[in-house]
Amino acid sequence: MNLVKAAGVTAVTELNLHSNQLSELTNELAEFRTLRNLKLGKNHFQSLPPVVLRFAKIQVLDLSENEMKELDLGIQFLVSLRELNFSKNQLMMLPNFWSHLTVLVVLNLAKNRLMELPEALGSLRSLQRLDISENLLSSLPKALQHLQELVTLDAHGNHLVEVPPSLGLLKNLIEFDCSGNPFSDPISPFYHQGFEKFMDYLRNLHELQQLEELIRQKPEGQILGSYKKYCARYESGQRPLLRTGYSVTQAGPITYIFGGRVTNYVKVEEIYAIDSRTLLWVKLSTSGSMPTARDGHAAAFDGNKRLYIFGGRNEENKLLNDIYYLDLKTMTWFQPPVEGSIPSVREGASMVVIGFQLIVFGGRGSRQRYNDVHVLDTQVWTWTLQNTRGSIPAPRQNAAATYLGTKFYVHGGKGSLLLEDLHALDTSGFTWSRVSQKGFGPSPRYKHTCWIHQNRLYVVGGLGVKGEPLSSLYVLPLSMETRTDNKFSTTLSSSSIQDKSSNLQSKNYMWTEHDTELEPCLTNVFCHCGEKMVVLQEGPQHAETIPYCSEELSNLEGSSWDYYLEVNCDALQQKV
């Protein structure tokens, strides 16, 4: 102190007392009110010198290589700390004061005797580097998942047999050293495959554990006729309001609803999902190049991980012809740079994905309806306007569409009149054929749903000639010429579902009508998962007051799809 004063120094910002034999500090150091960096490493301190707590603006504190067995609770008041180093001491436990150190960036606790870490460490939201290596830790707190700014985490040389799977959610983490821990299977092989594989494993395991917990919380269903009816759940702010012009896409057990118009004036770009295993509605958090708000668009799932969105009409009522896809594994939107014969702007198109081919049929433009077929090669992002031949369908919009093998099926839709015909397009040669129909098939309709499962075509719902909602289910057995054992997948796209479980030839059709046991309702959403038909229903308060006009939203505001119904299609009685 005397030397400093003699030198005429009035403002000390850094004091380095490293590698001495110090065990205490004089209180006279408190005069260094501007001190920012204090290095006391490699001394003999057994506790924090009281004078240190008087450096209110200190940012870097190094007490490494001392003899400290516990941390002074007063450290929590050094709220300007950015770096804190207590490595190579004898710490056996940590206090819970960490929430006060809101700007702490570096915390080094390596080479102590810590057997556990407090969950309160998860409150260090600015932390970027955490070193807890060479301690006696047998587990890590789950709260570390909240350290979203964390870049490096060093936990090598402990007694860890596993780590919390939620650490896979640390998006900024680029280094996670767990070497020298007695990891067991199955975590050990993934760790030794490298950082990326290890983090993927943790993320997938976390998602699986979350799903298992949600499944345990799944509400009990109520038997209602042939159905099992559930009350859907949703977290705060996650309630999907009823809307028009949205798309419904089925990807395995998960139903996705994108976009639409929630009031007479507001269109949205939000996407919701409900999982049949949990019955929990979630408003998905996505990143990337998100589509603009729209309605009247087409949507399709590729059977792997991509949900495609095409066209529609934006908030300015302008027709669109853009293409986006959502990676369902990373929840990232992409707008690929397409070339070729891009479809003209339209709404109400029908769309499916067969292999690497995204097929768009029909729709309505600014002055006309279409019956053209555009194919997007999703490997090179090139559009092609296909020259089709055969019995080409009349121009239409809002037709139900599905596919099986290389065949693309289109039913009904709205042309100059409502339609009830069924056409099949063989995409191997792009030849249309009109399917001859026997029996009592579906009446003319549009905005309906169709799918194929186990050699049968299903058609349900939609709107009739007066805009009235329809509820009967129609089934059309398909004659099988060849069949493969492809993995089952299903997609619902703009009121259409696709199933590629086999490769069938269309002939000898006989429609049958089945009673869905449901009152016609404009807000019912039909889709399917495996052998079951799924119906999303709104709550009872508006079910009888919705007008037939599907564009009217005044009575829908504030309502949501509160009920989830499922039924085995074979259980629905055939009408005579």
The answer to whether position 100 is within a domain reads yes
Lowest mean pLDDT among 162-166, 276-280, 291-295, 488-492: 488-492
Q: What is the mean pLDDT of residues 277-288?
A: 94
pLDDT value for 373: 98
pLDDT the model gives residue 455: 84
How confident is the model at residue 485, as a pLDDT?
29
Overall domain count for the chain = 2
The better pLDDT of the pair 122, 239 is held by 122
Instruction: Please state, in angstroms and rounded to a whole number, the distance separating the CA atoms of residues 58 and 34.
Output: 8
* Average of per-residue pLDDT across 534-562: 63
Q: Which CATH number does the domain housing residue 9 bear?
A: 3.80.10.10
Beta strands in 76-133 (DSSP E): 83-85, 106-108, 129-131
Q: In what order do the strands lie in the sheet with 222-224?
A: 222-224, 227-231, 561-568, 532-538, 525-529
Give the pLDDT confidence score for residue 196 in this predicted structure: 94
Q: Is the predicted pLDDT of residue 1 greater than 70, yes or no?
A: no
Do 41 and 156 lie in one domain? The reply is yes
pLDDT of residue 2: 54
Q: Which of 153, 182, 213 is the last residue of a domain?
A: 213
Do 148 and 18 share a structural domain? yes
CA angle 13, 14, 16 (to 5 degrees): 160
Final residue in a domain of this structure, among 186, 213, 240:
213
**Band (544; pLDDT cuts 50, 70, 90):** very low
Cα separation, 443 vs 447, whole angstroms: 13
Q: What is the pLDDT of residue 576?
A: 78
Domain boundary among 190, 213, 236: 213
Same domain, 237 and 205: no
141 & 178 share domain: yes
Which residues touch 304 (CB under 8 Å, ≥6 apart)?
Answer: none
What tens digit of pLDDT does each residue of 164-196 get?
999 999 999 999 999 999 998 889 999 999 999
The per-residue pLDDT for range 27-48, each reduced to its tens digit, is: 988 888 889 999 999 999 999 9
Residue 551 in this model has a pLDDT that exceeds 60: no
pLDDT score of 8 more than 60: no
* pLDDT greater than 60 at residue 76: yes
pLDDT higher than 80, residue 4: no
CA–CA separation, 42 vs 62, rounded Å? 9
**What CA–CA distance (Å, rounded) separates 394 from 380?**
30
Q: Are residues 261 and 394 in the same domain?
A: yes
What is the Cα–Cα distance from 219 to 537, expressed in whole angstroms? 16
Q: Is residue 560 part of a domain?
A: yes
DSSP code string of 493-562: -SS-EEE-S------S--BEEE-------TT-EEEEETTEEEEEEE-TTSTTT--S-TT--TTTTT-BEE
- For position 555, what pLDDT does the model report? 55
Nearest CA to 356 out of 318, 333, 382 is that of: 382
Does 275 score more than 60 pLDDT? yes
Calpha distance 83→85 (Å, rounded)? 7
> pTM for the whole thing?
0.74
* Residues 166 and 38 both lie in one domain: yes
Does 179 share its domain with 229? no
| 3-state DSSP percent of the chain in helix, strand and coil, to 5 | 10, 35, 55
The CATH number of the domain holding residue 311 is 2.120.10.80
pLDDT band at 557 (very low <50, low <70, confident <90, very high): low
Average pLDDT over the chain, rounded to an integer: 89
Q: Is 129 exposed, middle or buried (0-12, 13-18, 19+ CB in 10 A)?
A: middle
Alpha carbon distance 29, 7 (integer Å)? 16
Q: The tokens 């993995």 sit on which residue?
A: 487
Between these two residues, 554 and 101, which has the higher pLDDT value?
A: 101
| Full DSSP string of 427-483 | TTTTEEEEPP--BS-PPS-BS-EEEEETTEEEEE--B-TTS-B---EEEEE---S--
Per-residue pLDDT tens over the stretch 462-518: 999 999 999 999 999 886 543 322 333 333 333 444 444 333 444 556 899 999 999
Q: Which residue has the tokens 């194929």?
A: 452
Q: Please compute the mean of the pLDDT values over residues 192-217 and round it to a whole number.
A: 90
Judgement on whether residues 123 and 17 belong to the same structural domain of the protein:
yes
The encoded tokens of residue 435 equal 């399917």
Same-domain check for residues 553 and 463: yes
Say if 431 falls within a structural domain.
Answer: yes
Asked whether residue 28 is assigned to any structural domain, the reply reads: yes
Domain that holds residue 430: 222-571
Give domain status of residue 576, yes or no: no
Answer yes or no: is 447 within a domain.
yes
Q: 510 and 385 share a domain? A: yes
Asked if the structure places residue 309 within a domain, the reply is yes
Q: Are residues 187 and 240 in the same domain?
A: no
Q: How confident is the model at residue 216, as a pLDDT?
A: 84
- pLDDT confidence bin for 362, thresholds 50/70/90: very high
Q: Is residue 32 part of a domain?
A: yes
Residue 91, phi then psi, degrees to nearest 5:
-65, 135
307-327: pLDDT as tens digits? 999 999 999 999 999 999 999
Higher-confidence position of 117 and 493: 117
Whether residues 203 and 233 fall in one domain: no
Percent over 90 (pLDDT), the chain: 79
The tens digit of pLDDT for each residue in 423-469 reads: 999 999 999 999 887 888 999 999 999 999 988 999 999 999 999 99
- Cβ–Cβ < 8 Å for 127, 154: no
